[in-house]
Structures are given as structure tokens and as C-alpha cells.
């Protein structure tokens, strides 16, 4: 569903991962599920993560954007923000996702914007607002991730 665009990471984040021998921009993606659904991350920092997803191919039988597809976009964006907040020494694992669906979308792209509600030492919570191409809110979501220390098996 289109080419993966280069994600815009803050330079200090790129430098932090580069010091560990990790090429973050080359490594990063929306994951296998996100790629199948056409999720593209456009901007990523601990303060704000922006991504898009096509409605086409992600609908339920009535032709509307599937609520589960909105949940995938929300969890992807919130997880990226949590991972960037936690830094290279932590892994972000989603533990709670809440989605409220406000209106349907039948075509075009939806855009999600994740912003932090809480950024602590062991958890991070992000609000994700998903809107249609006219800027109308389609879904409001909240994701909480556990931030755990990286272990050798990771």
C-alpha cells in the first residue's frame, strides 16, 4: 500500500541510538501489521507522533473504516511515542488501549496524532486523535504502555 516514507526523528534521538550501533531511521517501521494496513509514520518524537492510514482495505462489511483498524493506528502511534520517551534502555509494551469511535470514514486517508498525557519512569500514556481528510474527529484513543528495562533477550 505505497512506499514507506522516511520518518522524521529528532537528531538527539538518532544520535542516542547511533551510539549503540543502531541506525534508527533504517530500522523503524510501523511493524508487519501496520505495513499490511498501509500505516505510514510521518513525524516521530516523544512529544508528538503523526501517522496516516488509508481507509480503503481497512473497512468493515458496511464499507466504513473498521474500528480495529483505528485501534491499530492508535496503538502504533502511541507505542512509538512511548518508545521514544523511554529511550534506548527501555522497551514500550502496550497494557491498555481505549478507543471511542465518533463517526465513520468511507474513503481517503485518516491521520492520527499522538500526544503525551503522562510520561513517567515505568509507564507512558498517550492520547491519539484520528481525523478524516476534512479534519473531523473519527476516533479518540488513549494508550498506556509499560516501560521495561531492555534485557539481553531483547
Catalytic residues: 75
Where do we find the cell 541506525?
Answer: 23
Nearby residues of 22 by Cβ (< 8 Å), 6 or more positions away: 88
CA angle, 121 then 79 then 62, to 5°: 145
Q: Check if the beta carbon of residue 77 is closer than 8 Å to that of residue 85.
A: no
DSSP 126-151: EEEEEE-TTS-EEEEEEEEEEEEE--
Closest alpha carbon to 105 in 72, 67, 142, 144: 67
95 φ/ψ angles, rounded to the nearest 5 degrees: -120, -15
The rounded distance, in Å, linking the Cα atoms of 85 and 116 is 9
Amino acid at each position: 500500500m505505497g512506499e514507506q516514507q522516511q520518518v522524521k526523528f529528532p537528531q538527539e534521538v538518532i544520535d542516542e541510538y547511533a551510539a549503540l550501533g543502531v541506525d534508527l531511521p533504517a530500522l523503524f517501521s510501523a511493524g508487519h501489521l501496520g505495513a499490511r494496513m498501509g500505516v505510514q509514520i510521518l513525524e516521530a518524537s516523544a512529544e508528538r507522533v503523526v501517522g496516516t492510514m488509508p481507509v480503503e482495505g481497512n473497512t468493515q462489511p458496511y464499507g466504513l473504516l473498521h474500528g480495529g483498524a483505528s485501534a491499530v493506528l492508535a496503538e502504533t502511534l502511541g507505542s512509538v511515542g512511548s518508545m521514544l520517551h523511554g529511550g534506548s534502555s527501555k522497551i514500550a509494551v502496550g497494557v491498555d488501549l481505549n478507543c471511542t469511535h465518533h463517526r465513520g470514514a468511507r474513503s481517503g486517508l485518516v491521520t492520527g496524532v499522538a500526544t503525551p498525557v503522562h510520561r513517567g519512569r515505568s509507564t507512558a500514556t498517550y492520547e491519539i486523535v484520528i481525523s478524516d481528510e476534512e479534519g473531523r474527529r473519527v476516533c479518540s484513543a488513549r494508550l498506556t504502555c509499560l516501560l521495561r528495562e531492555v534485557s539481553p533477550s531483547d
